[in-house]
Structure 1
């Protein structure tokens, strides 16, 4: 068996293990949905992982046993997978490119504005049905409950490093100039017209209905999608290498088929 066939088998075995890891991450994401209760990122991962598993199995068998027709199918499907991966990576970078936290003077945390982010992410999160689920989930996780214990004074709260969802959902915007009572109780806003969320904040629901809360959720989605997009670039390079070796294995298998046919005709017409 030629070197390219050995490499095709080995690389596709590695790809099978990698695809199982990707599927596992997707399933874990679906169960834990740690991106602040938004659980749609797992589907691209599961689809890509399952596709890789089936394709790499075909490549492993076709490469090791020099099955030309299976290698043809393998290379065609691998090409489609690479195109799909490129499309997903470009899409992920495009939708996560706009938007960032706004630094505040004298504060350890940033604030987030919904209009800063891509229209697609805004529509996904701001959809009434989706947000109802996300808001309910965030409340169930009690993301604000630890703030009073961790930051008992205004000075401690001001220097805190809140997560995007804690910054957006647990407190009113700083521009409203509420009076600090504790980390989750604020009163007497002095500039209620500074932001539309100033009038949305209340001590019963905090800022879970605020646009800043949606923006905080989107910021976490953006961070997770960026990590996946960077991993997809690395995966793309690896798959291109596997695809190139597979092309060499196909040529090797084709030469074997020619030799077999020549040997058959020689014996038959000798």
Structure 2
């Protein structure tokens, strides 16, 4: 592979990497448009990663274009190869960061799953099923105060009565993890449902769970202080982290291919010049 061929390969590597960076940014924007302001914890890191890769590639392309304006002397080639080396080193660090985050994401989201309840189409969740990292984050009073205020503002619970007009529709509904954990008392309490947003709390609870005492029909209380609500949020976060982790696996594979091809192109360019 000659110098011209290697430079051609490097230019195409930059082009495909730029397309990949744009795809990462689009994925981050998609996440932001499908979630409210309280559930965008992973949106900014994803968009930032895409923007960072885009800037690195754009700078690399601009530098190569600038070098073309001068004669390809020995020092020009050395400068070009040195810059591409720096580019590959940065790309290597990006790969390591993606790999570390992805492994940690799979470890953190390995535990926790819903429990089927007779007569319900959705699952209920228990906080102790999830990883210690989730427990630490959700049991932190400051973190939960912020999440709680977000849940109240989102009005997920208040929308249930509009979505399900009758009690029969509500009982046959397939609620999300947050709706199941935060908008209603756990089924073990045994409170009879009057409608999608109101339960008969005069009924003596069957279970001694503190969540049965914490639940209130008030739109600003509901079960937002319940462990079942924290578990529902943990399940939601687990799902989100898994989506990003799977996306990162694809991103890692593509960037790894680009990295190794770039290394080979740079090595061949340097070797061809030394033989010339």
Alignment partner of 2:211: what SS?
helix
Q: 1:111 to 1:165 in 2, by over 3 A?
A: same
Q: Does 1:126 align with 2:139?
A: yes
SS at match of 1:181: strand
Deviation at 1:80, TM superposition (A): 1.2
Tell me the equivalent position of 1:245. 261
Residue 85 (structure 1) shift: 0.8
Q: Report if the CA contact (8 A) 2:13-2:262 is conserved.
A: no
Within 2, Cα distance between the matches of 1:54 and 1:25? 17
**Pair 1:151-2:152 in alignment:** no
Q: Equivalent residues in 2 for 1:181-260 (5 A)? A: 181-187=194-200, 188-204=202-218, 205-258=221-274
Distance 2:229 2:91 in 1: 41
Q: Which runs of 5+ in 2 are unaligned?
A: 69-76
| Greater Cα shift, 16-25 or 174-183 | 16-25
Query: Does the residue aligned with 2:112 lie in a helix, a strand or coil?
Result: coil
Asked if the contact 2:183/2:224 (under 8 Å) is kept, the reply is: yes
Comparing 170-179 with 150-159, greater Cα deviation is found at: 150-159
Which residue of structure 1 aligns with residue 19 of structure 2? 17
Q: How does 1:76-91 map to 2 (within 5 A)?
A: 76-91=89-104
TM-score (norm 2): 0.83
Residue pairs, 1:51-200, within 5 angstroms: 51-57=52-58, 60=61, 67-187=80-200, 188-200=202-214
Farther-moved stretch of structure 1 (140-149 vs 97-106): 140-149
Match of 1:266 in 2: none
Equivalent position SS for 2:38: coil
**Shift of the alpha carbon at 1:28?**
6.3
Scaled by the length of structure 1, the TM-score of the pair is: 0.85
Aligned length, in residue pairs: 259
- Whole-Å separation in 2 of the counterparts to 1:243 and 1:63: 18
Q: Paired residue for 1:268?
A: none
Superposed CA offset, 1:158-201 (max 9, x none): 21101111111111000100012111111234435342211110
Give the secondary-structure state (helix, strand or coil) at the position aligned to 1:193: coil
5+ unaligned residues in a row in structure 1: which ranges? 263-270
2:51 matched to 1:37?
Answer: no
1:15-44: CA deviation from partner (whole Å, max 9, x where unpaired): 223223423544665x65827823321343
Helix, strand or coil at the partner of 2:39: coil
Q: Which range moves more in the overlay, 179-188 or 15-24? A: 15-24
CA offset digits 1:219-265 (Å, max 9, x no partner)? 11111111111111111111111011111221233135435xx6xxx
Q: State how far apart, in whole Å, the 2-side matches of 1:150 and 1:44 are.
A: 33
Two-structure CA RMSD over aligned residues (Å): 2.5
Pick which of 179-188 and 168-177 moved more. 179-188
